[in-house]
A and B are shown apart, each in its own frame.
Chain A
């Protein structure tokens, strides 16, 4: 993902706390921004996505925000649970999916 910077690379949070992952992209033509969760030994699973005509989207404990002017988008997980532990990838999609480097999230019980 040389066109998408993702931070932090690792994140450890106490159960019940919030987790935030941030991504910055360079291609201003991008209009679709999915987030994937990958558990050990499994393929990436889409958890939420946002399109450029929307600034924020929420699905239960997960929310994504998009700032097209600043070319930032972020994933917010509230009330974290041990099953949220996984690697999370941001991505943007023009003619192909370009992934960030990934964030390993560990939720401590």
Chain B
């Protein structure tokens, strides 16, 4: 089973709202990732967690706050977002970080009004 699940599928929020995206995998993977994908563009890496510790932050604004409560779960907390943050947010996982196959979830379609 190579399934990564994400909730919610769709999210609409105002610029003053606080919301969270959730990601879960049960493959025993120790690396988890957040990507942002704009329409007709490739995914862009935001964060990497390895063994539940943040190992890479690709200079993401602080209005995006990741959290890894345990080895199966990954959250992305959102606060004071801008309309240009509207995008598809993808979670992925891999056995370990580095040169390992990454498996993606279906994504959360975020619209910021």
Contacts and interface: CB of A to CB of B under 8 A. Distances in A.
Main SS at interface, chain B: loop
Interface string A32-70: 101010000111111001000000000000000000000
Nearest to B43: A99
B interface, size bucket: 20 to 34
Interface stretch (B11-19, B65-73, B74-82, B100-108): B100-108
Interface stretch (A14-22, A72-80, A87-95): A87-95
A96 B43 contact: no
Interface of A: 1, 31-32, 34, 36, 41-46, 49, 89, 93-97, 99-102
**Secondary structure class of chain A's binding surface, majority of residues:** loop
Contact of A42 (B40, B41, B56, B106): B106
